Amino acid sequence: MPKLKLTYFDIHGGRAEPARLALYLGGVAFEDERISFQEFGAKRAGYPFKRVPVLQVDDAELSQCNSINRYVGKLAGLYPSDPLQAAYCDETMDAVEDIVSQQVVTMRINDEAEKKSAREALADGPITLYLQRLQTMLEARGGEYFADGRLTVADLKVMVWVRSLRAGILDYVPADLPDKQAPKLVDHLTRVLEHPKVAEYYARFS
Ligand SMILES: N[C@@H](CCC(=O)N[C@@H](CS)C(=O)NCC(=O)O)C(=O)O
């Protein structure tokens, strides 16, 4: 097994959380490097695209969170080997990445009134759309998991996103939006959080 170091901010969410969870669930040893925003400022020029997450694999560096998720998913046994199921897994993760990228744009708005209007439009439009379509996708794939009929990195990625919305991380986006628009994604969130290894992972931090 290669020597792994995953670098990201010290938060229980965001773009590295699915990979952290996947490695933990798979029992794959890795260094969980958590950096402050200040440290990021000092180190960012050295990262492949001046962004995190970055996974160091022995002497090589891998960026782009979904590429990292696929790679660690394979190491952890949480990525499908069947090509179509793998494509379903990718499709789900890329959909979440689409909507997260749209959310991030609003984090850079400094004017509060402008931010409120952008967030309300996001809540009513793209976030609602992605919640509803992901729910439809989940139902089409059996209702419990997004690919392979079992927990994969796609489930971890969706869970991290829905959990963050319900935690109210985005001002002006109602925290109960997932419950109202996609209750089956909330059931999915509960299912993933109740997975014994996921529960064990979060218990370490409480
Ligand atoms: N496409 C990249 C996006 C990475 C990204 O934007 N990461 C954010 C943190 S979640 C970042 O490093 N932002 C710093 C910046 O934009 O200066 C990925 O999928 O990993």
Q: What's the pLDDT tens digit per position in 129-144? A: 999 999 999 999 999 9
Is ligand 1 within 6 A of the CB of residue 64?
yes
Over residues 22-53, the pLDDT tens digits come to: 999 999 999 999 999 999 999 999 999 999 99
pLDDT at 14 over 90: yes
Nearest-CA residue for ligand 1 atom 18 is 64
Is the distance from CB of 146 to CB of 88 less than 8 angstroms? yes
Residue bearing the CA closest to ligand 1, atom 3: 64
Ligand 1 nearest atom to the CA of residue 67, by list position: 19
State the pTM of this model.
0.98
- 14 CB within 6 A, ligand 1: yes
For residue 14, give the ligand 1 atom closest to its CA.
Answer: 10
H-helix or E-strand containing 70?
helix 65-76
Cis peptide before 53 (omega within 30 of 0): yes
